[in-house]
């Protein structure tokens, strides 16, 4: 989508930490006015300071995205204070690390309400404002797990799959209506975020993202890029692309591979306190920032993502090489 002459207005849910925090900062670096939605007030205030330091303007909105009325009130406050919303990023999420046989119904409900319904409520609030103007972009923050689920995160994987289905249905409706509202989903790889330090878990050892691990700034870069480019879906990182492709080609083989490897791959060697604070029902106090505890194992860049964002140049280069080859052959003739 084109950037308006006035400062663009962006809403980011889950903005107090992890990918949301990095995304708010990335939009601020290009002068955006950013509505910050999350539950944790400590993190929200820190995010506000970062946005303003980066050159943007911030509006703090303490809200639980699992409550549709709170999301609607937050959207109205953004438009009243900052102006018409140009970009809405649905990023808020919750998870529980646990085998399904040990999950409790209320835990599954909460993960679904935050991760899936929070995205639905955010999308609907954005559409109420964007459709009459026939302008705007909605970015759903997805995951490779939206296409290929893994063990021990059934509630979260189910919610991400639901977002994928909801988004595909809505995209067809927007196409039917000839709408210029842009809808995209960004499928992310494993990231070094604070969620592994506060997620509710029943695992014997400390949860971790499945390596290889990437820094949240790469995800933020992809989200900002996706908001500006009219692609229905983008994959970030080679592991994301390979997981989605493998699930299409050999899903049964992948089931067995994940059963054999992903219990260990999602845990470090360190024991975890089963009574540690978690954020499923209430935010964990304090400012947790964008990064988790895996900086020394995380990658800041991805060759796959570079290729994704430069495929126009690559196509032009390939065409030029092909043309030169044809010209050379003709000269030889």
Catalytic residue positions? 156
Task: Verify cis geometry, omega within 30 degrees of 0, for the bond prior to 212.
Answer: yes
**Are 9 and 86 spatial neighbours (Cβ–Cβ below 8 Å)?**
yes
- What's the CA gap between 163 and 143, in Å, rounded? 10
Q: How far apart are CA 196 and CA 209, in angstroms?
A: 8
CA 107 to chain centre: 21
Q: Which residues, including other chains, have CB under 8 Å from residue 173's CB and lie 6 or more apart?
A: none
Q: Is 63 exposed, middle or buried (0-12, 13-18, 19+ CB in 10 A)?
A: buried
């Amino acid at each position: 989508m084109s950037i308006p002459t006035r400062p663009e207005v962006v809403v980011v849910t889950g903005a107090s930490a992890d990918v949301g925090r990095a995304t708010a900062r990335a939009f601020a670096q290009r002068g955006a006015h950013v509505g910050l939605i999350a539950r944790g007030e400590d993190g929200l205030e820190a995010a506000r300071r970062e946005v303003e330091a980066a050159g943007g303007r911030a509006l703090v909105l303490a809200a639980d995205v699992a409550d549709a009325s709170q999301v609607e009130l937050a959207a109205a406050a953004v438009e009243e204070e900052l102006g018409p919303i140009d970009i809405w990023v649905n990023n808020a999420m919750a998870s529980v690390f646990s085998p399904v046989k040990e999950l409790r119904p209320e835990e599954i409900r909460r993960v679904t309400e935050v991760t899936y319904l929070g995205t639905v409520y955010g999308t609907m609030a954005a559409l109420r404002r964007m459709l009459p103007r026939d302008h705007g972009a909605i970015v759903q923050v997805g995951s490779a797990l939206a296409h290929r689920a893994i063990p021990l995160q059934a509630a979260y994987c189910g919610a991400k799959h639901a977002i994928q289905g909801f988004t595909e249905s809505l995209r067809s409706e927007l196409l039917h209506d000839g709408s210029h509202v842009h809808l995209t989903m960004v499928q992310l790889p494993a990231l070094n975020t604070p969620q592994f330090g506060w997620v509710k878990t029943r695992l014997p050892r400390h949860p971790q993202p499945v390596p290889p691990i990437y820094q949240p700034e790469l995800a933020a870069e992809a989200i900002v890029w996706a908001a500006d480019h009219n692609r229905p879906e983008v994959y970030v990182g080679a592991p994301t692309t390979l997981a989605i492709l493998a699930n299409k080609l050999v899903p049964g083989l992948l089931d067995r591979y994940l059963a054999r490897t992903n219990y260990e791959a999602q845990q470090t060697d360190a024991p975890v306190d089963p009574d540690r604070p978690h954020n499923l029902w209430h935010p964990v106090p304090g400012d947790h920032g964008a990064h988790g505890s895996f900086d020394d194992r995380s990658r800041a860049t991805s060759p796959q993502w570079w290729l994704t964002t430069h495929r126009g140049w690559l196509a032009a280069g390939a065409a030029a090489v092909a043309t030169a080859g044809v010209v050379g052959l003709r000269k030889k003739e």
